[in-house]
């Protein structure tokens, strides 16, 4: 089973079903994930299993935020804050690999 590392604060939001979209860039291990697949979402000391219900791909974070509900990516942040947070996590070279949005549901 594929493991996706999640920061503790986001893990809690996933458990509370506030965060249902997980954004990643197109690393080799990410592009191999498919709808219906079960993945392990893990922090340093906790984990749960989620199903990938859907995957959507975008060419940039801006394009992604035109289509996706930013509140389901980073609950409580504005669209601009979500963009800034993603840019802190990933540089432009990483973003250029493609932006993948995983719609997740806990099992």
Looking at the 3D structure of the chain, how many domains does it have? 1
Q: What's 102's domain CATH number?
A: 2.30.130.30
> What is the reported pLDDT for 11?
96
> What is the reported pLDDT for 91?
97
Q: What does the block give as tokens for 77?
A: 């942040």
Q: Which domain holds residue 34?
A: 2-106
CA triple 96-58-1, angle to 5 deg: 90
> What is the reported pLDDT for 31?
97
Rounded to whole angstroms, the Cα distance separating 46 from 33 reads 21
Give per-10-residue mean pLDDT for the chain (107 aa): 94 96 97 98 97 98 98 98 97 98 97
């Amino acid at each position: 089973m594929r493991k996706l590392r999640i920061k503790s604060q986001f893990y809690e939001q996933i458990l509370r079903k506030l965060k249902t979209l997980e954004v990643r860039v197109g690393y080799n291990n990410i592009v191999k994930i498919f709808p219906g697949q079960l993945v392990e979402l893990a922090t340093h000391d906790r984990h749960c299993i989620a199903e990938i219900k859907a995957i959507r791909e975008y060419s940039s974070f801006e394009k992604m935020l035109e289509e996706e509900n930013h509140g389901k990516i980073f609950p409580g942040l504005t669209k601009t804050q979500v963009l800034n947070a993603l840019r802190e996590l990933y540089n432009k070279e990483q973003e250029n690999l493609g932006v993948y949005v995983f719609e997740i549901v806990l099992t």
